[in-house]
Structures are given as structure tokens and as C-alpha cells.
Homo-oligomer: A and B are copies of this chain.
Amino acid sequence: MSVTRLKTISETRSCIAAARERGLTVGLVPTMGALHEGHGALVRKAREENGYVVVSIFVNPIQFDRPEDLEKYPRDLDSDIAHCERLGADAVFAPDTAEMYPTQLLTSVAVAGISTRLEGEFRPGHFRGVATVVAKLFNIVPADRAYFGEKDAQQLAVIQKMVADLDCPVSIVPVATVREPDGLAMSSRNRRLTPEQRRIAPLLYQALCEAERLIQTGSSSAAEIKEIAIKVLTQNPAIRIEYLEVVDPATFQAVNTFSRGVVVAAAVWLGQVRLIDNVKV
């Protein structure tokens, strides 16, 4: 059976309404396309848990803080749709920018605090753009469940807080990060790495694993953990560290000492490519 291709908001609403009339629950997987095995895990989880699965594919301009990043973002809709079909999705909602932003957008959804830290500090306005488009998607595709990867842990925290604060009628389902055999987290940005950069890239996850080991063997000092993890990254001079922090998983506020669960999150540059990753301990 082939996947239904949806371009407009109104046909998407009719399609979801028809699925609901048939008594099906609805799962939504919001993506920006360039689908990889990380997205595959989201769609498979959605497929397990819902009668009807919609993958949205929209490269959302308002969440890009740097125009060149938006421009370079990989786009291959036909291949993405074929991928969704193989994964067993029922529909792909792939609107163009004029469908999503037909007039000057004046409304924004912002999540204070958490949005200004780590990623938010280095990508001003990014999480406002994310929260705004996700709020729109939840209104366009009224889903029972929506699936987000833990690789973007801070994005997940922003969306969970938005859903709680605005009473969005949807359950957010986090899905574990999918990794290459050498540990590199799946990301559409990986394909922009040179072979040499690709060889170096797994150091990011290795540094986070080192931090995880330290915490599991009893360290509760963020300074100590950061020092050791940064030492792993600085092994290779091609890596430029943007941040590496031990943070509270709900607020993404940096912690100094801790006893309960934390997230160790990092962003690094390899040439022109920015990679992020995190571990929850």
C-alpha cells in the first residue's frame, strides 16, 4: 500500500478526521526530512503504538538562526517519501513554506529559561522557531502521540514543557538516540562531514561516555566530569567545542554538584559542520 502524500493543511485535516472516524489512533512524527535511521526508529515506534501514522516533512525556516544552514539543509522529498513508505507510515504531510506561513507570521510560542541555555545560547531564536512550528503541527495534525528523538534532548524538554504549559492534547513519546556502529549519533548533518571528519566525529560520543562512566563510578562534580570529557575531545585539534555541560534534564540549567539524574550535553564543530549529542545518566 502506498503512503498518502499531503501538501495542504485542509487535506491533512480531512485525512486525519477520516482516520479518526475509522476509530484509529493517530501518531505524528515531525521531521525536517533528510530521513535516516534515527527517524526510522521514531516511525517504527509510532507504527507500533498507533492505527494511523503521519510523518511531517518541513524544513522550517524560522528555526534556523543562520541563513547558510537553512540553505545547506539537505532536501530530497521523493527519497524521504519512499523511506516513509518502507517504514509503513500511512501519510506524509509535506507542505511548502507558503502553506505553513501564508502571511507575515506575527505569533510566536516561546518557552522561557530552558530555551536560552546551551543550544539556545548559541542559536538565538532557534527554540522559539521550533516551539512555534510544533504548536502549528499539533493544530494541523491532531495526534494522540507525537514522537521526538532523545538526540535533541533540549528540544524534547522544550516541547514537553510547552505541551504541559499549553495543555496540548497530545502525549510526547521520547525515542532513544540511534547510533552508527562507531557511536556517532545519526544526524542529517553527518552527510556533510568529509571522510576525515567522519573518522574523528565519534570522539563526541566517546567523550560523553567517559562522562557517563565517571558519574556511574561516583563522581558528582560537574567540573571534574567536564574536565575529563573535554580532554577526550581535545585529543583531536580538528574539533572545536562550543559547549559541554552537565545539566538538569528538565530545565537544562547547568549543575555544579548533583545526586540524581543529569544530562551531559555537548555541541562541537568539525569544519563547517555542527554536531550535538548527549547522554542521560
Contact = CB atoms under 8 A, between A and B. Distances in A.
Question: How many copies are assembled?
Answer: 2
Interface in A113-145: 113-114, 131-132, 135-136, 139-140, 142
Interface in A140-175: 140, 142, 161-162, 164-169
A13 interface: yes
Contact of A139 (B107, B110, B166): B166
Interface of A: 9, 13, 103, 105-114, 131-132, 135-136, 139-140, 142, 161-162, 164-169
A136 B164 CA distance: 10
A165 B105 contact: yes
Nearest to A164: B103
Given A106-B165, A142-B169, 12 more contacts: A105-B165, A107-B109, A107-B131, A107-B162, A107-B165, A109-B135, A109-B166, A110-B110, A135-B135, A136-B165, A136-B166, A139-B168
A272 to B, nearest CB: 32
Nearest to A167: B139
Nearest to A140: B167
Contact of A110 (B108, B165, B169): B108
Contacts of A132: 166
A108 B158 CA distance: 12
Nearest to A9: B167
